Amino acid sequence: MGILEVQNVNKRFGGLQALDDVNLNVQENTVHAIIGPNGAGKSTLLNCFIGKLIPDTGTVMFDGKSLLGLKPHQINQAGVSRVFQTPEIFTDLSVIENTMIPAFARRDGAFKLHPFERISDEKDIRARAEEMLVNVGLGEKLDTVASAMSRGDKRRLEMAMCLVQQPKLLLLDEPTAGMARADTNNMIDLLKRLASEMDITFVVIEHDMHVVFSLADRISVLAQGHVIVEDEPGNIKGHPKVQEAYLGT
């Protein structure tokens, strides 16, 4: 059984069938990419995983439990985090402060005020935040104000802000969108390293095939709301249906 199992998901916006009977089975501790041309339905599908949209029909199971009907924060508490489309960085705060906030939120869904517990917790949380910042390569920038960082470093910070919540499933929506080639390659290297070192399942949404090629264990290709092929990366690139989907738009 996969950690994320999607069965027969359909979603319609007025006359448009944005998701057409989508099936997906993501195995634990793998990197599973969902690729497809613009407008294929990738973001719509991802929004069905995080509670922003509810499918018209079908099921979405995470870790053996249905996610349908849960609120976004409940899904987050269950261990699903999304990166890169949520600009939740507090620009006036430092890198370490930014990273501590989601750790507190994950702990109890709010800021509790038990003075003694809070002090010891705060130390633990700071230590964990620091560890994650080192992990993403921001160990030297703990006290830098977020607004002063480059775009690439901001993405790393967002990554650390997610990792500190200790998610089981990390959803990445176009992790290299808008990045220059060098930053893109650095981000790919970082994701590869995290995927191999951490006990986390990654689902990467991407329209650029090349980005996910060296990263993914498994690729599902979405076109016009439907999964047209699911296979290992080696079998995806030259696949006639995939080429048709990309050239046809």
Residues that bind ligand ADP (CB under 6 A): 13, 16, 18, 36, 38-44
Q: How far is the CB of 219 from ligand ADP (least distance, A)?
A: 14
Q: How far is the CB of 221 from ligand ADP (least distance, A)?
A: 11
25 binds Mg ion per the rule CB under 5 A: no
* Residue type at position 130: E
| All residues at 6 or more sequence positions from 8 whose CB lies less than 8 Å from its CB, including other chains | 21, 22, 23, 57, 58, 59
Q: How far is the CB of 197 from Mg ion (least distance, A)?
A: 28
**Based on CB atoms, which residue is closest to ligand ADP, 39 or 58?**
39
Out of ligand ADP, Mg ion, none, what residue 148 binds, judged by CB under 5 to 8 A for its kind, is: none
List the Cα angle 184/82/227 in 5-degree steps: 80
Out of Mg ion, ligand ADP, none, what residue 16 binds, judged by CB under 5 to 8 A for its kind, is: ligand ADP
Q: How far is the CB of 42 from Mg ion (least distance, A)?
A: 5
- Sole binder of Mg ion in the list 27, 30, 43, 144 (CB under 5 A): 43
Dist. CA 3–CA 31, nearest whole Å: 12
**Based on CB atoms, which residue is closest to Mg ion, 205 or 215?**
205
> Which residues of this protein are in contact with Mg ion, per CB under 5 A?
42-43
